[in-house]
Chains A and B, each alone.
Chain A
Amino acid sequence: MSHHSHEEIHGIGYGILVLVWLGLVVLTGVTVVASGVHVPALAVVIALLIAATKSSLVVSYFMHLKYESRIFHVILLMGIVTIAIFIGLTFFDVLFR
């Protein structure tokens, strides 16, 4: 099969999964501490950036996307683009009404 068939069969090691979990716990701590930042606009951006980073860790490793074939990446991209259009157009409407 393909060059990454090894990963598909055995998936990823338990060690990597635990490392990803540790990363997620640390990022949770960071987001709680960072919420004390007294610049509201900045606080939202930081919170969302951390949430996005955590999500991408979950998607890549826990949900295995890193080791899936290209079509799965396309499917997720499709979803993200759809959501971006929804959010973008709604903000465009609300902010410039």
Chain B
Amino acid sequence: MKNIREIALEEHHDFVGAKMGMWLFLLTELILFTGLFILYAMYRVRHAAEFHAAATELDVVIGTINTLVLLTSSLTVAVGIEALKRRNRKLAKWMVLLTVLFALTFLVNKYFEWSAKIHHGIFPGADELLSRSQGEIIYFNLYYAMTGLHGLHVLVGMGILLWVYFLIARKPSEKVVVAPPNIEYLKGAQLIASKGEQESWVIDEIKDDVVEVEVVIKKDPKKAGVDIPNIIKLENAGLYWHLVDIIWIFLFPLFYLIT
């Protein structure tokens, strides 16, 4: 059996190029979040006490749970990638689906967290928040901006992973079109096709007025190989997902644990 690398070379797939493009994109993402982290750092230096006071209002338990959820989702997607490389489609499928579910769990937790805060009148521009000290206003504005942008990334990552899941799960099929000049070979031949489960019927001879014959070949997913482009897509989706995890690794202590 050929290994993935040999097949990739044969079929002209470029693992390294595809991954490099993703890494370069991730750098731009990193710089995007760095801007916000710098903003946070500068204001925290200026309003240290108020930042500490405001942070006591965040729920460390939910924050910790969400951290564990994201870490575990990083593990499942990494295992999924390894599984697909070893052509274990079934395991890869389950792992990617599990990752999507963890992403959803994270967002649901975030929803409850945010709505509790909003319910208490703590959101950008709210009268209750504006009546507080400047440091606390800045803290919560940054909290919403940074966890919001991060949440958006979780949502996007979840969508991408779901898309890749369907790509992996899809029954491999190929459509073959027999058209001129090759159709000439079929002329005069009889096609026996099965319609439904049992009934089989004979198509008339392919006559001169037939210009094209379309055949869809469906393969058993258990026996079919793994599509190389799908491995590359899952790897890049995984890289994106890990970046989302890393951003949260920094957001968590900086917002929840400074009490």
Which residues of A pack against B, CB within 8 Å?
Answer: 1, 5, 8-14, 17-18, 20-21, 24-25, 28, 31-32, 35, 40, 43-44, 47-48, 50-51, 54-55, 58-59, 61-64, 68-69, 71-72, 75-76, 78-79, 82-83, 86-87, 90-91, 94-95
On chain B, the number of residues with a Cβ less than 8 Å from chain A's Cβ atoms is 50
User: Which residues of chain B have a CB within 8 Å of any CB of chain A?
Assistant: 3-5, 15-16, 19-20, 23-24, 27, 30-31, 34-35, 37-38, 41-42, 45, 48, 52, 60, 64, 67-68, 71-72, 74-75, 77-79, 81-82, 85-86, 235, 238-239, 242, 245-246, 249-250, 252-254, 257-259
**B42 surroundings in chain A (CB, below 8 A):** 90-91, 94
Residue of B19, B74, B258 with highest tally of chain A CB at under 10 A: B74
Return chain B residues, CB-CB under 8 Å to A82.
Answer: 27, 31
Q: Is A58 a contact of B74 with CB atoms below 8 Å? A: yes
Q: B60's closest neighbor in chain A, by CB?
A: A32
A23–B45 alpha-carbon span in the complex (Å): 31
Verify A35–B259 contact, CB threshold 8 A.
yes
Residue from B60, B75, B253, B258 in contact with A62 in the complex, judged by beta carbons closer than 8 Å: B75
In the assembled complex, the Cα of A20 lies from the Cα of B82 at a distance in Å of: 15
**Quick check: B78 and A83 within 8 Å, CB to CB?**
no
Interface residue SS majority, chain B: helix
Asked if B85 and A9 sit within 8 Å, CB to CB, the answer is yes
Nearest CB in chain A to that of B81: its residue: A11
**Residue from A13, A47, A63 having most chain B Cβ neighbours under 10 A:** A63
